[in-house]
């Protein structure tokens, strides 16, 4: 099984296709639920599958700290460990290490950091990041990069990007190719089109199985993010999948798909589910709001998840007010179901040449019921 992406339809810059991997096929555009530590928070693997998800994301940084990549390997790999036989993409940990701030030290070889769990001193290099993901048996591995912070000057963004490009080449050299497995490079360069172009050229010259766009959704705003995508996506190989990391809201997904992005991940739907916020076809609802206390209707009449098909807004409101753990579980299930339905709708719209109409209809619906 060769790792590959094959287009099935286009609509302007938007693409529908199928990603073929050692652990199954994935229709794109696709949203990947985030299972940072080997679990999508508040969800069983069966529940995640029931939302329509075909691929999930894990994280190198968190899994190397706990329980350890070697242990996961001894127990049969991450697929068996977390009961997910389908594809798994693992982030290299670059973003998490960046967020440690003063607890990390960066140099040309890699990054030294202190564990946020116990303060232990650890080292991550482009080679060790790839090796850890190999031990985890990640279907899609990511190169180690430095996620350029925002704001950054042109000079700061350039230096960060160049370091990430050197690391990407080292990660590519360290990757052990296997049928159906892939390694993605990560385009960096902040909000500067010339740096993004240099980064894309460097990565394509090295050659990867897919290309991610990193360093966005870090404070630059949606308009700037879309401008970066418009400048960057056309520079990436048309025959390879494109992955926008850490994005985002339903509106972000619509805009990025229209600009040619195929893959997404974000903690937003699961984090929102744990804090009482529901994404729906009629807008974002705060289930803690008193207006829902006696409402017998579902969260979203258009949704068939257990939260909507078997429970009322009043019940969900009660669960959150009473701090019952079932509330976050049901609302996370709903949010992930909504995200998967949105992606499924976009795939169908692209196939029918109707993405602009689908996008307009979705955005109009969100104006209907915010509270």
117 and 13 in one domain?
yes
Q: Give me the domain span that covers residue 23.
A: 4-266
**Please, is 208 exposed, middle or buried when counting C-beta atoms within 10 Å of its C-beta (0-12, 13-18, 19+)?**
buried
Judgement on whether residues 260 and 198 belong to the same structural domain of the protein? yes
**pLDDT by residue for the chain (371 residues), tens digit each?**
799 999 999 999 999 999 999 999 999 999 999 999 999 999 999 999 999 999 999 999 999 999 999 999 999 999 999 999 999 999 998 777 767 776 788 899 999 988 888 988 989 999 999 999 999 999 999 999 998 889 999 999 999 999 999 999 999 999 999 999 999 999 999 999 999 999 999 999 999 999 999 999 999 999 999 999 999 999 999 999 999 999 999 999 999 999 999 999 999 999 999 999 999 999 999 999 999 999 999 999 999 999 999 999 999 999 999 999 999 999 999 999 999 999 999 999 999 999 999 999 999 999 876 55
Same domain, 188 and 136: yes
Q: Does 173 map to a domain? A: yes
In a domain, residue 51? The reply is: yes
Same-domain pairing of 254 and 281: no
For residues 114 and 79, state if they share a domain: yes
- As a whole number of angstroms, the distance between CA 118 and CA 38 comes to 20
Residue 103: the pLDDT is 75
SS3 353: coil
Domain boundary among 266, 284, 302: 266
91 is catalytic: yes
Residues 279 and 254 in one domain: no
Report if residue 369 sits inside a domain: no
Do 164 and 35 sit in the same domain of this protein?
yes
Instruction: Confirm whether 367 is domain-assigned.
Output: no
Strands, E assignment, the chain: 4-11, 14-21, 24-28, 30-32, 56-59, 88-91, 104-106, 111-114, 121-124, 140-142, 182-187, 210-213, 242-244, 263-265, 277-280, 283-286
* Dihedral class, residue 180 (left if φ above 0, else alpha if ψ from -120 to 50, else beta): left
pTM listed for this prediction: 0.97
Q: 252 in a domain, yes or no?
A: yes
- The long-range contacts involving 357-363, CB below 8 angstroms and separated by at least 24 positions, are 359/254, 359/258, 362/250, 362/254, 362/281, 363/251, 363/254
Residues 304 and 249 in one domain: no
In a domain, 149, yes or no: yes
- Calculate the CA 53 to chain-centre distance: 12
Catalytic-residue membership of 194: no
Quick one: which H or E segment has residue 129?
helix 126-136
Question: Residue 82 maps to which CATH number?
Answer: 3.20.20.105
Of 266, 291, 319, the residue at which a domain comes to its end is 266
Count structural domains, the chain: 2
- How high is the pLDDT of residue 369? 60
Same domain? For 202 and 240 the reply is yes
Which one is catalytic: 11, 91, 209, 252? 91
233 & 287 share domain: no
- Does residue 78 lie within any of the structural domains? yes
Q: Alpha carbon 137 to chain centroid distance?
A: 18
DSSP string, 7-40: EEEEETTEEEEEEEETTEEEEESEEE-B-TTSS-
| Contact predicate 342/327, CB 8 Å | no
Single residue among 233, 266, 299 that ends a domain in this structure: 266
Kindly state whether residues 227 and 199 are assigned to the same domain: yes
Pick the closest to residue 160 from 152, 184, 197 (CA basis).
152
Same domain (yes/no): 199, 307: no
| Identified catalytic residue from 11, 137, 265, 300 | 265
In a domain, 366, yes or no: no
């Amino acid at each position: 099984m060769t790792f590959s992406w094959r287009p099935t339809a286009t609509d302007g810059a938007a693409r529908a296709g199928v990603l073929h991997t050692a652990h199954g096929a994935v229709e794109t555009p696709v949203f990947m639920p985030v299972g940072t530590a080997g679990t999508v928070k508040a969800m069983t693997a069966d529940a995640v599958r029931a939302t329509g998800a075909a691929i999930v994301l894990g994280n190198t940084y968190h899994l190397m700290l706990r329980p350890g990549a070697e242990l996961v390997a001894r127990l049969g790999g991450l697929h068996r460990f977390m009961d997910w036989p389908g594809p798994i993409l693992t982030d290299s940990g670059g973003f998490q290490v960046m967020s440690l701030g003063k607890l990390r030290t960066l140099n040309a070889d890699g990054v030294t950091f202190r564990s946020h769990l116990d303060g232990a001193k650890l080292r991550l290099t482009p080679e060790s990041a790839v090796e850890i993901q190999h031990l985890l048996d990640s279907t899609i591995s990511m190169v180690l990069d430095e996620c350029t912070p925002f704001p950054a000057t042109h000079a700061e963004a350039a230096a960060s990007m160049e370091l990430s490009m050197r690391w990407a080449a080292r990660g590519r050299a360290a990757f052990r190719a296997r049928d159906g497995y892939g390694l993605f490079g990560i385009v960096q360069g902040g909000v500067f089109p010339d740096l993004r172009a240099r980064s894309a050229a460097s990565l394509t010259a090295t050659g990867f199985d897919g290309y991610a766009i990193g360093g966005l959704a870090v404070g630059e705003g949606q308009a700037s993010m879309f401008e970066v995508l418009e400048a960057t996506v056309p520079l990436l190989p048309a025959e390879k999948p494109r992955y926008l990391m850490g994005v985002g809201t339903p509106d972000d997904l619509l805009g990025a798909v229209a600009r040619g992005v195929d893959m997404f991940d974000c903690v937003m739907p699961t984090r929102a589910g744990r804090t009482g916020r529901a994404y729906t076809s009629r807008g974002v609802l705060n289930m803690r709001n008193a207006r829902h206390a006696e409402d017998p209707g579902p969260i979203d009449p258009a949704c068939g998840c257990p939260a909507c098909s078997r429970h009322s807004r009043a019940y969900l409101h009660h669960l959150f007010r009473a701090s019952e753990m079932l509330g976050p579980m049901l609302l996370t299930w709903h949010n992930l179901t909504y995200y998967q339905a949105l992606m499924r709708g976009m795939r169908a719209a692209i196939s029918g040449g109707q993405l602009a109409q689908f996008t307009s209809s979705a955005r109009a619906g969100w104006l209907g019921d915010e509270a």
